[in-house]
Amino acid sequence: MINVREISPDDAAAYWQLRQQIDRETEFLRFEPDHWLVTTQRVRERIELMLATDNQTIFVAEMATQLIGFLWAGGGLYRHNHHRVHILLGVLQAYQRQGLGTRLLKACEGWGRGHAIQRLELSVMTHNFVALALYHKLGFQIESTAPYALCLDGKYIDLHYMSKVLT
Ligand SMILES: CC(C)(COP(=O)(O)OP(=O)(O)OC[C@H]1O[C@@H](n2cnc3c(N)ncnc32)[C@H](O)[C@@H]1OP(=O)(O)O)[C@@H](O)C(=O)NCCC(=O)NCCS
């Protein structure tokens, strides 16, 4: 059985491993290899900080004791954007297409509604058709497209900025 739940500080090591594995598996999350040169202790402190803030969290998908997917939700730092949350998610390749992306996003939406979050936002590479299908399915809309937003290995990549207002 796969469980979707909010992260706890004790997940720090497993979460760190998961993020690194997903980064290795996908071209769509764009973190550099040295992005994760941090200690488990730092990851733990980051998780603690997020959980202590009412507009930030991380959800994880867990099977037995293995973490297999995540959704990171980072809220605005100021009063004027406290209601806005930027999200990022990923699922291990072996567990994709089993509804986990959908479950993680729905969990985030439920959490958002309970935390006075009014707007979920994200950016997605325009050729990430799977993620785009998922976001459209859940009611996210493309607000704008940024040509040449990223440069990866000398190749320029466009980004869609998408959002969903939680009414
Ligand atoms: C995007 C991602 C999180 C989706 O996770 P997932 O668990 O496979 O998603 P789901 O099983 O809930 O699928 C949801 C929808 O996505 C679409 N989808 C998923 N896999 C697909 C595929 N292989 N081909 C086409 N559409 C697909 C479908 O619309 C699907 O809905 P349906 O099953 O009702 O038809 C996952 O593919 C992933 O981690 N990708 C790499 C990281 C990434 O791109 N993150 C997003 C960065 S913006």
The reply to whether 24 falls in a domain is yes
The reply to whether 46 falls in a domain is yes
The reply to whether 131 falls in a domain is no
The reply to whether 25 falls in a domain is yes
The reply to whether 137 falls in a domain is no
For the stretch 53-108, pLDDT in tens is 999 999 999 999 899 999 999 999 999 999 999 999 999 999 999 999 999 999 99
Range of the structural domain that residue 52 is part of: 2-121
The reply to whether 136 falls in a domain is no
Q: Whose CA is nearest to atom 45 of ligand 1?
A: 90
The reply to whether 109 falls in a domain is yes
Give the closest residue to 90 by CA, choosing from 75, 105, 109, 110: 105
Question: What CATH number is associated with residue 105?
Answer: 3.40.630.30
Which of 103, 130, 152, 157, when mutated, tests ligand 1's pocket best, judged by the most ligand atoms within 8 Å of its CB?
Answer: 130
Q: Is the CB of 159 under 6 A from ligand 1?
A: no
Residue 98 CA, ligand 1 centroid: distance in Å: 9
Q: Which residues neighbour 165 within 8 Å (Cβ) at sequence distance 6 or greater?
A: 118, 119
Q: Is the CB of 73 under 6 A from ligand 1?
A: no
Number of domains in the chain: 1
Q: Is the CB of 133 under 6 A from ligand 1?
A: yes
What does pTM read for this prediction? 0.95
